[in-house]
Amino acid sequence: MLLYLPIADLPINIFLLLALGLAVGFVSGMFGVGGGFLMTPFLIFIGVSPGVAVATVASHITASSFSGAISYWRRRSVDIELVAILLSGGLLGTVSGVWVFTKLRAVGQLDVLIAFLYLIMLTTVGGLMLIESGRAILRARQQKPLLRRPGTHTWVHGLPLKMRFRTSKIYVSIIPVWAIGYAIGVVGAVMGIGGGFLLVPMLIYFLRVPTATVIGSAAVLTTATMALATFTHAVTNHLVDAVLALVLMVGGVVGAQFGARSAHNMPAERLRLLLGLLILGVGFRFGFELISQPDNLYSIRAVGIDT
């Protein structure tokens, strides 16, 4: 059954979209990520223009991260102070991201930049995850205990403007917190991702946010930045497709529940290995797209209606 997507301006099989939502939702539930880094590329691969894909997926991530945020909130694993500082950077970052997006679209380099950013980000993150989880699996096999050095300080801890985050029990400068929020905001708005799979490692490695509060806080931040991204994309570029968004959301939230359940039966480092492979695969697909010669060197875009 074909469903005509009003803003994307093309008919797409509704079952394909639901299946896409379910599959991405399953993966996102399984790995505890928003799934934007898979959803946006898949939409682009099936013919939705990158602009519409990025803007619409923002609303899909709003839904999935909000449902996550609620359940973490109930378990009181959200650090409100941390989220507040992250958000002050994140919201500004989102607005800058949409601004960059609009400018690039006007000069016709948006699609290339999106593909390029995906390539860099996905291969880096995927590669790191692969190495890290590979080591963890080896360590588990050799029965070596994991070396933990609590209280280790990095250069990040030498920065001024320190603040005590009581829920997370950390004492760090607000500069890196703000900067991380800003970076996630920009990247999220330009690439159509929530950035959870970037944010969580950054919070753990740079700020030493404990695992108890990191995912909940990330989910709250992502909900806010993606809600703002959806709104700003809708107002400035008119690219948010509500029909597409609704179908993806429904598939996504249902899929996430099944994913979360099946994740319980799998060891964490194997899960990370799988996710790393998946991320790397999507990254290489973009790399291939960038270096292979397009079928047609010419492309056209309607920029206005003449009377």
Partner 1 sequence: MILIVRLIAASAFLSLCAPAHSESIAVTVAPSRIAVSSSYNGGTVVLFGAVQTTRLPSGPYGVAVVATGPRQTIVARRSGRIFGVWLNQASRTFHNVPSFLGVSASRPLEEIASADVLQRQGIGLKNALIRAGLPSDDDPYLVNLVNIRVRQGLFNERSGGVTFLSGTVFRSEISLPDNVPVGDYEINLKLFQNGKLVGETESSFTVVKVGVEDFVVNAATNYSLIYGLAVVSMALFTGWLASIAFRRD
Q: By C-beta, is 175 or 254 nearer to partner 1?
A: 254
CA separation for the pair 132, 149 (Å, rounded): 17
Instruction: Choose one: 63-71, 141-149, 185-193, 202-210; the region binding partner 1 (CB under 8 A).
Output: 63-71
Stretch that binds partner 1, among 70-78, 92-100, 127-135, 154-162 (CB under 8 A): 70-78
Cα-based distances in Å from 288 to 132, 164, 255, 284, 292:
25, 46, 29, 6, 6
User: Binding to partner 1 by residue 147, rule CB under 8 A?
Assistant: no
- Is residue 171 within a helix (H) or strand (E), and if so which, with residue range? strand 170-173
How far is Cα 165 from Cα 271, in angstroms, rounded to an integer?
30
Contact 182, 93 (CB under 8 A): yes
Q: How far apart are CA 202 and CA 208, in angstroms?
A: 9
What is the Cα gyration radius of the chain? 20
152 binds partner 1 (CB under 8 A): no
Nearer residue to partner 1 within complex by CB, 174 or 190: 190
Q: From the CB of 299, what's the least distance to partner 1, in Å?
A: 5
Considering only CA atoms, which of 50, 54, 44, 4 is closest in space to residue 20? 44
* One of 15, 45, 71, 135 touching partner 1 (CB under 8 A): 71
Q: What is residue 249's DSSP assignment? A: H
Q: Least distance to partner 1 from the beta carbon of 281, Å?
A: 20
Asked if 296 interacts with partner 1 (CB under 8 A), we say yes
Residue 9 in the binding site for partner 1 (CB under 8 A):
yes
Distance CA 218, CA 28 (A): 14
284 forms part of the interface with partner 1 (CB under 8 A): no
Instruction: With beta carbons less than 8 A apart as the criterion, state whether 239 and 7 touch.
Output: yes
Site for partner 1 in 222-281 (CB under 8 A): 223, 227, 230-235, 238, 240-243, 245-246, 249-250, 253-254, 256-257
* By CB under 8 A, residue 177 contacts partner 1: no
Determine if 47 is a binding residue for partner 1 (CB under 8 A).
no
Please report, as ranges, the residues that interact with partner 1 according to CB under 8 A: 1-4, 6-7, 9-11, 59-60, 62-71, 74, 108-109, 112, 116, 223, 227, 230-235, 238, 240-243, 245-246, 249-250, 253-254, 256-257, 290-294, 296-307
